[in-house]
Structure 1
Amino acid sequence: MNVGFIGTGSMGSLLIEAFVSSGALTPGQIAASNRTYAKAARLASCYPGLKAVTSNAEAAIGRDIVFLCVKPHEFKTVIDELRSVAAPEQLFVSITSPVMIKVLEDQLPSKIAKVIPSITNRVRSGASLCIYGTRTTDEDRARLENLLGFISVPLRIDERYTRIVSDLSSCGPAFISYVLQCFVDAAVEETGIDRGQALSVATAMLRGTGELLTAGGMTPEQIQQRVAVPGGITAEALQLMERELDGVFGQVIRTTHAKFREDLEKVGFSFYGEEVNGL
């Protein structure tokens, strides 16, 4: 299998690093381009055999799968470069949530999929969310999910839920780590405990909680019930959190969805001169 990457920013480089370190791909199977060529060249120097190329078309030609790892406002320019070289048998995979499958199927003759990766894929964990266009076959889906299976748990989703599952899977690590950071900072400020020690304890707790929720088969509610003895310290603190955090996560979701709709509209105007009906 030969794979192309267009865009080697934060997520593009993360996917390349994860695929290579997991053994899913060898560097020699990868070609990569970036708007700033030096970034692709740096990756090639880290992974001898990886081919850094100067044009997006060169990264795509002859590749079985091509990952499009660019920002929404860059998509129109990239697609214009690829339209003349994209082949019907190729699978183009966007990792950009506001770019709809239908838009890409309108613009390219190839098979289209969308994947929402997560920073957790860097440690071969978490989910990768998969959405498929009308031209993909069972073989295409199996091949992509086999590749993603080296670094994640591939989960098929309906495109109408793109934003909310992205919140949970892709944005979620940032949200949870922010809560953990606030917890640790408060511990240091209130008690004077060494921050490194507090962070070590808290991250070990987070990892263990993740195990309880997965391998342990427990739900969030069950964990709270087991830890919070009625009338005890944890129960009292949970009551405080319920009062103070009431509605916060609803606001978080409304904020991400509003930004998503804004980006969706911009992508639609860039391709068609009008808004694309989205999610």
Structure 2
Amino acid sequence: MNVGFIGTGSMGTLLIEAFIASGALSPAEVAISNRTYAKAQALADRYPGMRAEFMNADVACGSDIVFLCVKPHEFIRVVEDIKPVVRPEQTIISITSPVLVSHLEGELNCKIAKIIPSITNKVWSGASLCIYGDKMEEADKKKLESLFAHISEPIRIAESYTRIVSDLSSCGPAFMAFLLQQFVDAAVKETGIPRKEAMEVASNMLLGTGLLLTEGRMTPEEVQARVAVPGGITAKALQLLRRETEGVFTALIRTTHDKYREDLLKVSSAFYGEEVNGQ
């Protein structure tokens, strides 16, 4: 299987490295391009056999599957680059939430998918969110999910839920890391515990909590109930958290959705020449 990656920024590089490290792909199966060729070549130099191409069209020509790992405003340029060379049997994949399947289906005569990865895929964990176009057959879907199963749990979703599941899966690690940072900073400030020691304890706590919620099949409510003895220290602290954080995550979701709609309008304007509404 030959797989191309157009864009070797943070997420493009993460996917390439995760696929190779997990054994899902060999370097010889990978071709890459980037707006700055030297950046693509530097990555290819780390993996003998990987090909760095000057032109996006060259990546598309030689690949069965092509990942578009570029920013929303760059999509139309990349699509124009590869449009003359894509073939009906190829699969082109967007990893960018504001780029709709319909945007790409309207421009490219091939199979289209959108798969939203997560930084947790770097350690072969977390979810990958899978959305498929009309030309994708079940065999095509299973082929992609088999690839992503090496580094994640592939989950099929409706495109209308792209933003909220991206909040939970892709943005969520940053949100949880922010809260953990606040927790550790407060511990250091109030008690003088060495930061390294506090971070080690807290990070392992977060890992263990995640395992309770997944492998342990516990709900968040059950975890709280098992830890918080009525009238105890944890119960008292949970009362504070409920009071102080009321409405915070509602505001957070509204913020991400507002930004998504803003980006979607810009992408749609680039593809269609005018601002349109969409999901």
Same fold judged by TM-score > 0.5?
Answer: yes
Aligned equivalents of 2:276, 2:217: Cα separation in 1: 41
Letter paired with 1:107: E
Aligned equivalents of 1:36, 1:233: Cα separation in 2: 55
SS at match of 2:106: helix
Aligned equivalents of 2:62, 2:202: Cα separation in 1: 47
Aligned partner of 1:85 in structure 2 is 85
Structure 1 residue 178, shift from structure 2 partner: 0.4
Identity score, percent? 65
Aligned partner of 2:136 in structure 1 is 136
Aligned partner of 2:25 in structure 1 is 25
Structure 1 residue 274, shift from structure 2 partner: 1.7
**1:54-75 Cα shifts (integer Å, max 9, x gaps):** 1100111031100000000000
SS at match of 2:139: helix
Structure 1 residue 277, shift from structure 2 partner: 2.9
Aligned partner of 1:239 in structure 2 is 239
SS at match of 1:128: strand
Aligned equivalents of 1:35, 1:24: Cα separation in 2: 26
Aligned partner of 2:124 in structure 1 is 124
Aligned partner of 2:196 in structure 1 is 196
Aligned equivalents of 2:139, 2:188: Cα separation in 1: 53
Aligned partner of 2:62 in structure 1 is 62
Letter paired with 2:158: D
Structure 1 residue 276, shift from structure 2 partner: 3.4
SS at match of 2:97: coil
> In the alignment, is residue 49 of structure 1 matched against residue 49 of structure 2?
yes
Structure 1 residue 88, shift from structure 2 partner: 0.6
Aligned equivalents of 1:212, 1:79: Cα separation in 2: 43
Aligned equivalents of 2:278, 2:191: Cα separation in 1: 49
Aligned partner of 2:255 in structure 1 is 255
Letter paired with 1:136: M
Structure 1 residue 132, shift from structure 2 partner: 0.1
**1:70-110 Cα shifts (integer Å, max 9, x gaps):** 00000011111111011110000000100000110000001
> How do 1:163-174 and structure 2 match up within 5 A?
163-174=163-174
SS at match of 1:252: helix
SS at match of 2:5: strand
SS at match of 1:84: coil
Structure 1 residue 140, shift from structure 2 partner: 0.7
Aligned partner of 2:76 in structure 1 is 76
Aligned equivalents of 1:71, 1:85: Cα separation in 2: 22
Aligned partner of 1:230 in structure 2 is 230
Aligned equivalents of 1:206, 1:271: Cα separation in 2: 42
> In the alignment, is residue 146 of structure 1 matched against residue 146 of structure 2?
yes
SS at match of 2:218: coil
Aligned partner of 1:10 in structure 2 is 10
**1:176-215 Cα shifts (integer Å, max 9, x gaps):** 0000000000000000000000000001111111111111
SS at match of 1:275: coil
Letter paired with 1:210: G
Letter paired with 2:102: K
Gaps of 5+ in 2: none
TM-score normalized with structure 1 length: 0.99
Aligned partner of 1:186 in structure 2 is 186
**1:230-256 Cα shifts (integer Å, max 9, x gaps):** 111101111101111000001110000
Aligned equivalents of 2:11, 2:160: Cα separation in 1: 22
Aligned equivalents of 1:21, 1:62: Cα separation in 2: 22
Structure 1 residue 278, shift from structure 2 partner: 1.7
Which 4+ runs in 1 deviate beyond 2 A?
Answer: none
SS at match of 1:47: coil
Aligned partner of 2:217 in structure 1 is 217
CA RMSD of aligned residues (A): 0.6
Aligned equivalents of 1:137, 1:44: Cα separation in 2: 32
How many residues of Structure 1 are paired with residues of Structure 2 in the alignment?
279
Gaps of 5+ in 1: none
Letter paired with 1:257: H
TM-score normalized with structure 2 length: 0.99
Aligned equivalents of 1:97, 1:268: Cα separation in 2: 12
Aligned equivalents of 2:38, 2:223: Cα separation in 1: 48
SS at match of 1:107: coil
Letter paired with 2:86: A
Structure 1 residue 164, shift from structure 2 partner: 0.2
Letter paired with 1:209: T
Aligned equivalents of 2:76, 2:276: Cα separation in 1: 14
Aligned partner of 2:99 in structure 1 is 99
